[in-house]
Structures are given as structure tokens and as C-alpha cells.
Structure 1
């Protein structure tokens, strides 16, 4: 009697959490709690949540939404990660250096609940009629890239407007990232959804990396979360409503693309942070 071996799934399973985020922090934490439940049911290795997942105002998110790293939002992420075994990457807002300023940040929490690191957004969104710099202070351009190792795959973190700057993605890849994770609250407007898709695809192709770009859903933002393969093929694309979807990322396929297209090895320039 022959036996059939169970299928071996790819090394990392990702739950894309395209959430609608409000200015009610308690309600947002409940939405995040349910997203963890979904990720755990699907046996995900990591949950990716959008920019400003702790609290959001489409007119501009500032210090009134800031919470410290030991505050309720990050504490919930750490508690749920430890309880479910699901790592998480999520946008939040931290206090700035003065009461009038905050920091747009992304935190990475490992599956054991340990805070693995914090990325403070370098490129503030002063474009298309928005001015984040009126409320926020930028993170240091020379800070080490935020990476998180999950199931043998290294994730590198950017956020939202950073997607327009290929240097940010390349620095993460130089730090060993196989997957670029981009939490966003991508502002809606003419051609903005097209820009989002095109830029995510470009970052994937030029870095021969997977791009997991997770947008907020709701008023004033685009949604349209994407998972793009290292060959530029869009494997998942959501609409503009809240949705959670789980996808498998295959490191062997990634390695195959990098062998066929060794453009990273052919580089003649390096990325150096501006002073």
C-alpha cells in the first residue's frame, strides 16, 4: 500500500490585512484583533497591516493619534503575536520630539511577541496637496533598514510615499530583504491607483524581490493592496473595500528569478543616504 506525502507549502505564508482605519483607537484595536484571528486560522506566518493602523484621519494624522511603543496598540500587537504565533508588520504613530510633532512609524513584531524593530518614515508626504511635515518629523535617512526574518525569508520594510523612492527599496534589499513590505494609506486621487500599482511592480522587478504592498481601505485612501512577484507578475490585487487575504510566497521561485535575471549582481552603483 503506497502512502501519499502531504504537500509541502512554501516557506512563508502572508496575510494581507487591508483594513478600514478610523480615529477611534479602541475600535481599530478590535479590528486588528480579528485580523490576527483570521491570520491564525489560515496558519499564516506573518500579518501585514496598513500605515496608520492604530488611528487615522484622512485630513491629516498627527500627534493627537500618537502612542508610545509601550502603549495600547503595540502592546496588543505583541500580545496577539505571542498568543497566535503570527508575526506582524503594522503602521502606527509615535510621539515626536516635541508635543507638536509625531512620527509616522512601522513596527515589526516577531512571532514570539518580541518587538523586532521600528522604522520611522524617512520621506514625508508633502505632495499632491498633502503636507505630512506640518504634523510629523522624518526619521533619520541613515538609520539601518528595518528587516524581519520570517520562516527563512527576510522582509524589508518601507511605508507609503517611500514607494516612490527606489533608493529606499534598494537599501532594504542591500540589507538582505527578499520581500519588500509596504504598509500604506495611499491617498486617493487622479491616477493615484495607477501610480501605486506601477511603482509596486517597478520595485519588484528592479530588485527581483516580492513586494507586499498593503493599503488602507476607506475614505480618502486607495486600498488596492498588491502582492507582486520578483518577475513583476501581480499575483494578488484587492479592490477598495476592507478585505483579508492569505497568500503563499515561494522562496524557490524567488531564487529562480534571481538566477535568470542577476541584475542585482550587475550593479555598478551603491545607495548612500543624503546628508
Structure 2
């Protein structure tokens, strides 16, 4: 997997929409996806900008067997210095859905969407075995804690890659990528010294975790459950 919108400049660092910059971002991501396809990897999950109603949309996609497939359009768009995503992007219109990737049931959350536990919980309830989270965040960030919680409430593996470094007036990105097991246990983190990590997942563990606390609880049981 890659980080969020991994190729070229971070356009949402600017508070003003620029159609030429938007077009350049679309073009460089098309070139980047072609380069990823040329690597002949079994599958790569990433995100790309696409045109949408006079602006862009942030679209999660998978390259599998050389074919590009849509997965999800980002719903939750920050609007603050360095992340003027509401200025540059149109939000998606539907909740994230599952896709079969190399025989694994996969859901995608794009960056800030990780902060919404209910999105991870619904993906887990639908049967997600793996939730992939491309990010572009600064450091320190609550994303590691959010990743652990997403795994706990979904009973799914949760893996995330983050953008790093600074260019021009963009914010300084940083903070680890990570992988959590379906019970919330940390499997791996990236760092400046180790920017690439590899983890193995076992979909059977995710399926078993969904029968355990707190994943088996229904919404009503969660609301009525006593403290302690």
C-alpha cells in the first residue's frame, strides 16, 4: 500500500483552488499508477485525484493484476491550514464498501476517516478482514491510537502508510505507518530508519475475532451495556 495521494505536490496545502495544479496532480498520478503497474506486483492499494463536478475527488483504488479498480471516495474532508481539502475536493457520496483483493475482503478508509470508529466498525461488521488507510498527516498525530481502536471495533487487520517530508509551503508530514492485528495488537511501525515494513495477515484470525468482544455486540447492546 502507499500513502494518500502519493505522487507530486500536496495540492490541498494551498487555500485557493488552482485548476492547473489540479490537472497536474491528476496527470502525475496517472503516470505514477502506470509506474506501479509496471512493477508487476500482485496488488497495490493507493489513492488518486479524479475530476468531480469542477473540483477533484480523492479516490481509493487497487491495482491488481495490472487492472485498476475503484474502491472508495473520501467522505470526510478536513478544512484547516495545510489541509484545505474542502476547497480542492468534492466528498464521496457513499460509505466505504468491501472488495475482494487477492482473496482477502478489504475496505479502505482515507486518512481522516480513520477517526470515525463507526466507519471501521461497519466495515468489520460487513466482514472486512483488512482495512487499509492511506494517510497524509503531520506528527505527532492521534492516528496510531485511532488505528488500534479501528482494529478493536472492527475485528480486522488495520494497516496504514503515511506521507513524509515537506515541499514548499506544505505542512511537514510525518508519523509512522503501522499495522495492527484484529485484536488491536501492534504488529509493526515504520520509522525514519525503517521506512518499509512487511507483515503477514491471516484472514482466519479476523473472522474469529468478529465473534469476540466487542465485535459481536449489536448497536442496541452497546447502548444498553452497563459500565464495567
TM class by shorter chain equals: 0.7 to 0.9
**Equivalent of 1:155, from 106, 109, 113?**
106
- Once residues 193 and 43 of structure 2 are traced to their aligned partners in structure 1, the CA distance between those partners, rounded to angstroms, is 24
Aligned residue in 1 for 2:159: 212
Aligned residue in 1 for 2:190: 238
Indicate whether 1:105 and 2:105 are aligned: no
List 4+ stretches of structure 1 deviating above 4 A: none
Aligned residue in 2 for 1:165: 116
Q: How many pairs does the alignment contain?
A: 209
- Once residues 127 and 184 of structure 2 are traced to their aligned partners in structure 1, the CA distance between those partners, rounded to angstroms, is 19
- Partners of 1:186 and 1:215 within 8 A in 2: yes
Larger RCO, structure (CA 8 Å, separation 6 or more)? 1
**Gap change, CA 1:52 and 1:71, over 3 Å in 2:** closer
Structure 2's unaligned 5+ residue stretches are 15-20, 167-171, 221-228
- Partners of 2:151 and 2:157 within 8 A in 1: yes
Which secondary structure does the structure 2 equivalent of 1:92 belong to? strand
- Partners of 1:180 and 1:210 within 8 A in 2: yes
Q: Which deviations, in whole Å up to 9, do the C-alpha atoms of 1:177-207 show, x marking residues without a partner?
A: 111100001133xxx43x1111011111111
- Partners of 2:7 and 2:28 within 8 A in 1: no
Shift in Å, 1:156:
0.6
**Gap change, CA 1:139 and 1:183, over 3 Å in 2:** same
The 5-angstrom pairing of residues 114-263 of structure 1 reads 114-127=67-80, 130-140=83-93, 142=94, 145-188=96-139, 192-193=140-141, 195-219=142-166, 220-240=172-192, 243-259=195-211, 261-263=212-214
Q: Which deviations, in whole Å up to 9, do the C-alpha atoms of 1:146-184 show, x marking residues without a partner?
A: 433234321110110111112322333344311110000
Which secondary structure does the structure 1 equivalent of 2:200 belong to? strand
**Equivalent of 1:76, from 22, 35, 39?**
35
Aligned residue in 1 for 2:169: none
Task: State the TM-score, normalizing by the size of structure 2.
Answer: 0.79
- Once residues 30 and 177 of structure 2 are traced to their aligned partners in structure 1, the CA distance between those partners, rounded to angstroms, is 28
Task: State the TM-score, normalizing by the size of structure 1.
Answer: 0.67
- Partners of 1:63 and 1:96 within 8 A in 2: no
Structure 1's unaligned 5+ residue stretches are 1-47, 270-275
